Structures are given as structure tokens and as C-alpha cells.
Structure 1
Amino acid sequence: MTEAAATSSARRSPPTDRVVQVLDHLVAHPETRFGLSELARRLGMSKPTCLGILTALTEAGYLMRHPADRTYGLGPALIVAGRAAQRGFAVGPVTHRHLAALGAEFGATCAASAVVGDRIAVLDVAGADPDGAGARVGEVYPFAPPVGLMYVLWDSDERLEQWLAREPTLPVRLDRDRLRDVVDECRTAGYLVESLTAGGRRLHALMAGVAAHDLPSELRELLGEMVSSLGERVLLTGAEPADAEHPVNLLAAPAYDADGRQSVVLTLHVGATLANREIARRGAALVATAEAVTRELGGRRPAR
């Protein structure tokens, strides 16, 4: 063995290699959850060794364990780690720069979020947050009805139907006529307007960090009473007079990747009552920001 090879071998840590092996496997299958036996078999580890690694990674938040079927998947701590690493690449600085400019223009909090595996993750936050009620980097939400419409809204109808087919996190009624109106108006305008309701904000806070179906059935039913149908919190203002007013929680618009698919959703938080003309002004600014992010990252808007 050469001196260089001996030095390389001496520096390796088999226990660390096994931890990396587990993470690499789960990152390579982000939409799949694995049980202990299957994961140990696939990776050629003993079950006690694999369990020790899974337990440590779960306690640190890098993995999440489903309480019902005891399977493991990627956890929210990886989002924070990825967000930190993102600073050295194009997406982080580009998105943050544009969000900061938009937030400064309106004195508001802006955020970027995306679907990561089977969760929605907050990737970046910029701008003012006077009430401390804005999104926080690393927060995760279940990507299943009724949560997540804006992450498929501007994508293909096929992606929308795939999301609708996911087992809902909460009991919810599907009003397809209402949903079609929401899709048509938001795609035409290029942005979504979400109403501000006390119940909606409480629901959003309760769902932060909660995996789908982790809630007891009684609590799921109670929360479900707060959401009667999909898209009910989306304001449709297209046919209203310019001076009509609405309490607005936030506006959202998509940035696209090179294939013309939604990659990131940008949001501009409002938390106030606005006239439709002001909603439209902020919506146009948000869309312009999303288009600038799309162009700088080499993306393109889809052809409809």
C-alpha cells in the first residue's frame, strides 16, 4: 500500500460512512419512506446498526419517522442545511436579492418555498416582519389537501390532479366548479390572493411541522371544520370594482425551472385590508419579481 493510500484509508471512518450511506439513499429516493428491515437490507447493514443511525438522525431532525407504519423519510433539518449550502449557489442569492427588493418596496415580509419530497418547505425569507408573524426558514407543512394548492396551481392539470388524489391531511370537500374558477383566474392573473381569516391563520400555525395523518382523528375532524372546501381562502377579484376591499393574508406567484414547471413559490405577506387596485399593484410587482427570478435561473414560463 502506498503512503498516500494508507493515509486516505486511515482518515476514513466506517461509522461515518454508514451515516452518509443512509442519507445518500434517502436523498436518492425523496418520495419514498423505508422501514428499518428494508433499509438495513438494501444498505447491507445489521438492523441494530441501522436503527442506531436512524434514531440519531431522527432525533436531530434530519429524518422523520412515521408513527403509524414506522417508516423513515427525509426531515426538516435537511432543509435548513440545504438552505445554508444554497448560499454558495445561484438559487439562494438570486432569490434572496429579489425578495429583499420586493419586501423593501412594500415594507413587507417575502418568502420562497417549494415542495421537497412530500413536504412543503420554507427556503428563504426576506424583508420586514414587524409583527413576527411571517414564515420561518426550515418550517415544513404537509403537501396534501387542503395544504399546497399554490404549489401546483400554475403547473399542468396533470400535476394538479395528482395533488388532489393524495390522501388529505384533513377532511375537506372538493368543489370542482369553485376550484376551476380559482385555477382559471389565478393562471390568467399570474398570482394568487389569499384571504385573511383568523381560522385560516390558526390552521396554518397548527400545521407547521406536522406530517400528514400525524394528528389524532378527533383533532383532524375539528380542524377540518375550519376548511369547508379547497380554494375557499382564495379571493377572486377579477370581476369586482377597483375600490372593493378585502382582508388579504398574502399574495403568491410561481417561478419556473428550465422545463417550464413550477420550482419555487414566492409570497408577499400583507396582513391588512386592501382595495382591489392595490391588490393588483402588489400582484403585478410580485409577478415581475417571479419572472426576474425565473429568467436569472435559466427558467421559462410554460406554454398554455
Structure 2
Amino acid sequence: MKILLQNRDAVNRRHFIPRPETMSDLSNPTGRVLDVIKLLASQPNEDFSLADIAQQTGMSKASAHRVLLTMTAADFLARHPRRRTYSLGMGLLAVGQASLERYRGVEAAKIEMARMSAELGVQCSATALIGRDLIILACDGLPKSHAGFNRVGERRPMIPPMGLCHVAWGRAALVEPYLAFAKQHMRADAYAWLLEALPLIRQRGYAMATASWHRLGSAVVVPAAAQRDSAHWATVCELVAELNRDEIQLAAPGDGDIRQIGQIAAPVFAPDASMAFQLVLSGLPATLTARKLERCIERLLAAAVAVTDQMNGSVPAGRDAVAAR
């Protein structure tokens, strides 16, 4: 295996891939508050002790204690009086509801996801590109395993082969650094196939890959406030270098063993013709047949069109094949 990490500093200089996080990144008090919110939001059903929060955000206990007191006083956090643990507070509920009022497409997506989950027996999720991460906004259906990308708030860095829908319909500011990272770290044949796959995804209106790339997906899933250091990125780049053709994109639904398909993703567009988020089907059954796969694809594309319509979304110009889904 050829590990393409000849110049780690070059990786860190690319704005697409963040530098390893250090304590200096946490010196901003506002950033500390945001880190706490992101951590708790990534595991909304869990309670965290002061020590847990300090460790996972990189703060000292003294700093974390001050932040938690302030957030608890504002009802952004709730503190359990006996266990002395912290969870999301009612104050954030109003913030979340206000955000949903502005981004109604997420609520529309949740309705469609519930329907697909019930009809198809799969897990459905909505993931958005926020900053440099893919983040789960909503999900429905039980995951088929505890590995990977299953819970609201979980995030993955936007690196190959993840987020190909965003790249296929993305603008230069997103596409260029994504492809630069891919060219540096992927094998030449894999990179060539990645370039071929992007127009294919646009033409058919969805992305689809095998489940075997989940070893990479599991490696990069981190709690919302967890740090990514040089060792983390070294592991990620090694796994990217091992990607094969089918882990990047399946050329056709009938390619290979369809029971190995890991996920299918379709874009939802915003009013300005940018991609708002993607709807993803995962956890497809081991008994998947060609006919059932076709049904899953048809249902996913219909749901993506329905949510785009409810958002008054607009398909990007020149993407008539997608608009005609």
C-alpha cells in the first residue's frame, strides 16, 4: 500500500482540510460555548459530567466550569442536581424551533424520511455540509449496526468518497479543494474514476457506493467537539489511499453484488439553486434484490424532488437530467 503522506504540512495548508486542533484554538470564550453545544447536540440523549466535557472539548476543568455555569444560568444547559451532569436545556429548544421555521425543508425531509423508512425498511437521514463537515440533521429508522454515521449531530470531514452529491452539484470553492485532496491522496486509477463519477451522478441524479468504505466512514466519525490531530489525519489519508472503484461510486445498480451497497444519496436544492442537503438511504437489507434496489432509488429521488419543491428550491441550470427525475 502506498501511503500518500509525503508532506503533511501541505495537507494542513489546504483550507479544505483543517489544521490539527490545539488548545490555542479554544482560547476564544465564544468558541468554547459553541464547542459545548456541538458536543451535547451530537449525543442529545446523553448526560455529560464536567470532566467529560472538559476532556472532549480540550478545556481545563476550571474553564469548562465557568462556561457551564453561564450556559446553565441561561437555560441553554440543564444540570442534574444529584448526578451533577449536564444535558441540553430548554433555552435551546426555542432557538431550534426558530431555526426550523426558517429552514422548513428539514421538517419536510423528516416526513419523507419517516415514510421511506416504513416503506423500505431502511435507515434514512438528511445530511448537510456545514463548514468543512457533513453533519446529520435528522434521521429515521433503526441503524443496522452501531458503526458509522447514525446519530443526529454526528459529523464527518468532507473528504473522498463522502459528500459526492455536494461535489457533483457544488461550486468551485467546494469542488477544487476536494479534488486537490483526492488527487494527492488517492491512487491514480481511483482518482480518474472519481472524476468520471461526478458527471454520472449529475446525469442520473443520485450517488451510490458499496458498504466497504464504511471502514473509512467509521474512522472519521467524531463527536461534534472532538479534536482532530495529526495522527487522526494520518489514519484518514491512509484509508483514502486504499479506496477502490466501487467504494467511490457504483457505475450502475447492477454492478457487482447489490447486497454490498452501503448507501444511496440524492440532492435537495435550495431556492438559490445551491444544494441544501442530501437525503441518504443506508442499512439496506442483506436480502436486497435488483427490483427492491430500483424501488429504493425511485422512492429516494421522488422524496428529494418533493422536499425541493416544498422548499421552493431550484435545480441548478444545465442539470436538466436531474430536473427530469
Q: TM-score range by the shorter chain?
A: 0.5 to 0.7
**Match in the other structure for 1:97:** 111
RMSD: 4.2
**Greater share of helix:** 2
Q: Secondary structure in 2 aligned to 1:152?
A: helix
**Match in the other structure for 2:153:** 138
Give 1:237 shift: 4.1
Q: Secondary structure in 2 aligned to 1:254?
A: strand
The percentage of counterpart residues that share the same residue type is 24
**Match in the other structure for 2:206:** 191
Query: Quick check: which has more Rg, 1 or 2?
Result: 1
1:77-116 alignment to 2 at 5 Å? 85-89=98-102, 90-116=104-130
Pairing 1:289–2:300 present:
no
Q: Secondary structure in 1 aligned to 2:114?
A: helix
Give 1:128 shift: 3.7
Pairing 1:260–2:273 present:
yes
Does the Cα contact within 8 Å between 2:109 and 2:307 map onto a contact in 1?
A: yes
Does the Cα contact within 8 Å between 1:150 and 1:192 map onto a contact in 2?
A: yes
Give 1:146 shift: 4.9
- C-alpha separation between the residues in 2 aligned to 1:36 and 1:123? 28
Measured at CA, do residues 156 and 226 of structure 1 come closer, stay the same or move farther in structure 2, by a change above 3 Å?
Answer: closer
Measured at CA, do residues 100 and 180 of structure 1 come closer, stay the same or move farther in structure 2, by a change above 3 Å?
Answer: same
1:12-161 alignment to 2 at 5 Å? 51=28, 54-55=31-32, 57-59=34-36, 61=38, 85-89=98-102, 90-129=104-143, 131-132=145-146, 135-156=150-171, 159-161=174-176
| Structure 2 gap ranges (5+) | 1-16, 41-55, 60-87, 319-325
**Match in the other structure for 1:25:** none
**Match in the other structure for 1:278:** 292
Does the Cα contact within 8 Å between 1:255 and 1:266 map onto a contact in 2?
A: yes
Q: Which residue identity lines up with residue 271 of structure 2 in the other structure? A: A
**Match in the other structure for 1:21:** none
Q: Secondary structure in 1 aligned to 2:247?
A: coil
Does the Cα contact within 8 Å between 1:257 and 1:298 map onto a contact in 2?
A: yes
Q: TM-score normalised to the size of structure 1?
A: 0.65
1:173-184 alignment to 2 at 5 Å? 173=187, 175-184=190-199
**Match in the other structure for 2:6:** none
Give 1:207 shift: 0.8
Does the Cα contact within 8 Å between 2:271 and 2:312 map onto a contact in 1?
A: yes
Q: TM-score normalised to the size of structure 2?
A: 0.61
Pairing 1:204–2:229 present:
no
- C-alpha separation between the residues in 2 aligned to 1:149 and 1:231? 14
Does the Cα contact within 8 Å between 2:210 and 2:250 map onto a contact in 1?
A: no
Give 1:151 shift: 2.2
**Match in the other structure for 1:301:** 315
Q: Which residue identity lines up with residue 95 of structure 1 in the other structure? A: A
Q: Which residue identity lines up with residue 151 of structure 1 in the other structure? A: H
